[in-house]
């Protein structure tokens, strides 16, 4: 019994293995807390096993944390961590501003290239810009051009669905995937936003598994009285505390021998970032790695 207890204790302290599936987090969570040095974020990553980071508010984030790209790379490398992508958005719905959107996407990828990254996560415009056919077609045309530029640069660009944005529900995801070239533009889904929009998360991943470039693993519960097009960060939970079938998602990944990043991009950490990522890491180790690591 003593040996068994010791073994269980050791397993509880184990970090995600980061073998086929590699685990990351999002920098945006720290905007909800008093400002800390960027190195504090990297320390949490190192200590919890979430070794990749998706940057938000680029390029302003460098000024926010008084960091140069070179120092960011140095500090991340010291801790065995990586900058893996950024959250990119732009006026892709507006044909008159398409060249601007493409130029900004190229600038973002040139920045990421310095870190050895090769993924660009592309957010749709806000729904206030319209969900009509012309705006949607223009957006998808821009996505194809961003995807073409990405492939020329050795990158992969892919759609990130989001509540309150022009690609939110299953019909809109299907339309966007149908109107973009599968050789140019990929899929980087957010499981929480799929669930909150009424999608079947596992079936959505299965449907587009061959366009899956990376994903956000984020748990959620649908709140009573929530706005159908709105988003409330209180609906987001640490992995395992919400309603999403991550074991089912992981079986999809195993079926395609997925080798890439999953980002646990929390919008809320009720006991602080470190505590939440420790809990998420334990869930990964205890519940998901037996399915696919």
Return the pLDDT at 277. 98
Predicted confidence pLDDT, tens digits, the chain (293 residues)? 343 333 334 444 799 999 999 999 999 999 999 999 999 999 999 999 999 999 999 999 999 999 999 999 999 999 999 999 999 999 999 999 999 999 999 999 999 999 999 999 999 999 988 778 999 999 999 999 999 999 999 999 999 999 999 999 999 999 999 999 999 999 999 999 999 999 999 999 999 999 999 999 999 999 988 777 778 999 999 999 999 999 999 999 999 999 999 999 999 999 999 999 999 999 999 999 999 99
The CATH number of the domain covering residues in 51-263+275-288? 3.20.20.150
Instruction: Report pLDDT for 273.
Output: 98
Q: Closest by alpha carbon to 215, among 256, 255, 173, 158?
A: 158
Please tell me the distance from the alpha carbon of residue 63 to that of residue 67, in angstroms, as a whole number: 6
Where do the structural domains in the chain lie, given as residue ranges?
A: 51-263+275-288
Tell me what pLDDT residue 148 has: 98
pLDDT tens for each residue of 125-154: 999 887 789 999 999 999 999 999 999 999
Q: What is residue 228's predicted lDDT score, i.e. its pLDDT?
A: 73
């Amino acid at each position: 019994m003593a040996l068994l207890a010791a073994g269980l204790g050791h397993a509880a302290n184990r970090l995600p293995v980061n073998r086929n599936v590699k685990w990351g987090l999002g920098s945006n969570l720290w905007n909800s807390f008093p400002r800390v040095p960027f190195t504090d974020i990297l320390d949490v990553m190192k200590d919890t096993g979430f070794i990749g980071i998706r940057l938000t508010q680029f390029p302003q984030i460098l000024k926010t944390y008084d960091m140069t790209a070179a120092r960011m790379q140095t500090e991340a490398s010291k801790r065995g961590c990586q900058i893996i992508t950024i959250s990119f958005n732009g006026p892709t719905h507006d044909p008159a501003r398409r060249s601007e959107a493409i130029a900004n996407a190229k600038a973002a990828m040139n920045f990421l290239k310095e870190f050895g990254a090769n993924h660009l996560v592309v957010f749709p415009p806000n729904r206030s810009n319209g969900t009509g056919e012309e705006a949607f077609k223009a957006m998808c045309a821009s996505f194809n051009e961003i995807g073409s530029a990405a492939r020329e640069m050795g990158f992969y660009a892919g759609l990130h669905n989001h509540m309150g944005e022009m690609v939110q529900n299953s019909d809109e995801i299907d339309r966007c995937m149908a109107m973009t070239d599968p050789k140019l533009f990929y899929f980087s889904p957010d499981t929480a936003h799929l669930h909150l929009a009424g999608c079947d998360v596992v079936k959505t991943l299965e449907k587009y598994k061959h366009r899956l470039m990376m994903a956000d693993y984020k748990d959620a519960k649908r709140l009573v009285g929530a706005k159908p097009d709105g988003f409330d960060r209180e609906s987001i939970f640490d992995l395992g505390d919400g309603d999403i079938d991550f074991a089912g998602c992981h079986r999809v990944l195993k079926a395609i021998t997925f080798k890439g990043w999953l980002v646990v991009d929390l919008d809320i950490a009720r006991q602080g970032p470190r505590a939440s990522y420790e809990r998420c890491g334990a869930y990964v180790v205890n519940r998901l790695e037996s399915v696919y690591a």
